[in-house]
Amino acid sequence: MTTDPAVHTGRTALGPFPPAAPRNPDAPHVTAAMIDVDAGQVQGPLARIWESFGYDEFNWTYMPTGKRLLQTFADFSGAGYFVRPHYMYCSGSGFGIPHWSSGNVYHEDADGNPYYDFTLLDQAYDAIVGAGHHLLVELGFTPRDLLPPEAAELTVVPSPTAYTNYEAGAWAYPPNDYAKWAGLISATVRHSIERYGEAEVKTWLWELWNEPDIFYWRGTLDQYNELYTVTVQAIRDVLPEAKVGGPAVTSGGLNFLRGFLDYTSSRDEPLDFISYHTKGCHFPTRDYKPFAEPAAEQLSPSSTKMLYDVREFNRLIGSYEAYADLPVIVDECDAAVPAHFGRYDNRNYSFQNTEYYPVFQAKLMKKILDLNDTEPAKVAYATSWSFYFEAERYFEGTRSFLTAGGIEKPFLNAYRMLSLLGPDRLRATSNAAWHVGELDETDGSSMPEEVDALASRSNDGTVAVLLWRHIDDQYQTSDDLTPVTVIVRNLPAGSYRLRHLRIDADHSNSFTTWQSLGSPQDPTPEQLTKITSHQRLDECEPDRHLTADGDVTLDVTLPLPSASLLILEPAR
C-alpha cells in the first residue's frame, strides 16, 4: 500500500469566492416582479431534495427534545427524512456536548477480543426509525480500542477545559486493524436487521466516514480507499442489497473525491451514491467582544458559492460514465459553518435566528433543482446540518431548528412550506430571478436581490406556488414592499380555495415575537405562549374563494426578506 502524506494539503477552493460575502449597500432592489406559472405543464417529479438533516450530537437524538423534534418533522412532512448523526462509533460516556458525542459501541477484553455494546446506538436509532425516518449511517469514527500507535503523537495542552487526546481528535486516525473494523461493521448491520427488519435497513444509506479530506481523517487517500473496500465488503456480506457510498468530502475536497472515484471505478467497487459537502461561508473566529457591539465586519453567506460548488462537484461526477446517473447527496449543505457557533461568538451568525435563513434555504433548494435540470449528475438530497442544542440561551443563533425551551425557530418553517408542495413540478418563471446559468460568468459575488418561485401540482389538482424575495446580504434592508404579479395559467375551470402562508418579520417568526417582549432569557408562561403562537406557519391573509376559467392572477407584496406560499385548492 502506498500513502500520500500530503493528501490534506492538496485541497482546492472552488471558484473566486471569498470565505464570506462582504456588504454591498448600494446593491439595487427589485421594485416589481412577474411570476408566470403553467398549471398544465408538468416538468416532471418534484425531487424532495430537502428531506434530510444531520448533526454532530448523536446522544441528543434520544433526549426528550430530540425525540420531539424528530416527530415534528414526521408530522408535518408525512414522510421519512434521512437522518445522519456524527460520532456513532466514538468511545465515550454517552454525554453529548456541542460538536461531540459517542455511541461507545466497540470494546476489547483483556486478550484483545472485540465485543460490542449497542445500548446507545439502539436508543438513537429507535428514536429515528420510531418517528418514521431512515438512517444515513455515517460509519465513524475510530473507537479508542482500535487506535493505531501513531495516535499517541496527537497532544493537547492540559487545562481544565481541554479534552483528552482521544476527544481532541485521535478518533480520526485509521483503525489499527481493518479486520476488527470489518467485524464491527458486520455486527452493526446484523444487529440493525435483527432490531428493525431487513425491509427497513434496505432503505438506509451506508456512508464511510465524514470529510476525510480534512482533520476528520488523519490518514491518507490510499488508506481511506482501502478502508472503503473493507467496509463495503463487510456490509454487503450481511446485506447484499445495502446501499453504500461516500466519501463525504468538504467543498475543498474535489481532488480527494477524484482520487476516490478513480479507485472505485478502476476496481469496480460497489458504489450506490456519491456524497460531498458545501458551506456558504465561514466567518472569522469568535470575536470576544461585548455582546452589544456589532460584528467587526458585516459578512453574509453566499448561495452562489454553494451552487458553484455543487455544479463543479457534479460535473466531476458526471465525467465518470459509470457514475453520471448515481444519486448525489450533499449531506452537509449549509449557509455557514460551524453549526455550534452563534451570535455571541460572532454577530454575523445572527441570521440563523431570523426570517433571512428560511428564505435563503427555500431559495437554495430551488436553485439546486435548477442545476439538476442542466447537469448530468443530480442531487438526490441536500442535507441541512441542523438539529438543536442542549443548554442554550434563548435564540443563541446557532444553526438549529429549535432554541432554548424547545421553541421552533423561523428556519423550521422553510421545511414546513416545502413539505406542502405537491409531487409534480410545474413550469414557473420570474422576470426578476437570478438564473444558475449566471455561474458561467461569476466574479465571486454573492447572489443579488431576486424574486423567484417554485411551483407544484398535487394529484387532486391543488397548485402551490412558493415565491420569495431575498438577497444574500443579510444586512441589506428595504422599507418598500415589492409588488409581485403571479399569473397561474391553464387551471381547470372551477372554484378554488386560496391559502396564503407567509414567512417574514411579522409572520411565522418566534424570534421577532421574542424580541418584541424584550428578549427575555427567563420568559414567563404568558410570554412563552405569545412566542410559541408564532412559531409555526402564519396566514398572511384570510382564506378566500375564487373562480378560475383558465387563468388566475394573484397580487402579492413582499418585504425583504420574505417567502409566501400560495395554495390553490379545488373546492369540494
211 an active-site residue? Answer: yes
Quote the DSSP letter at residue 522: S
Neighbours of 78 (CB within 10 A): 8
Which is the catalytic residue, given 57, 138, 211, 332? 211
Read off the DSSP letter of residue 406: G
Cβ atoms within 10 Å of 368's Cβ, excluding its own: 26
* Backbone conformation region of residue 367, classed left if phi is above 0, alpha if psi is from -120 to 50, else beta: alpha
For residues 72 and 400, give the distance between their C-alpha atoms in angstroms, rounded to a whole number. 14
DSSP code string of 323-352:
TTTSEEEEEEEESSS-TT--TTT-GGGGGG
- Rounded CA-CA distance 490/520 in Å is 50
How far apart, in whole angstroms, are the C-alpha atoms of residue 527 and residue 275? 43
The secondary element (H helix, E strand) that includes residue 236 is helix 221-238
Three-state DSSP at 95 gives coil
Q: CA 183 to CA 174: how far, in whole Å? A: 15
Cell triple for residue 74? Answer: 414526521
State how far the Cα of 554 lies from the Cα of 493, in Å rounded to an integer: 16
Work out the angle at residue 360's Cα, subtended by the Cα atoms of residues 482 and 97, and round it to the nearest 5 degrees.
145
> Which of the residues are catalytic?
211
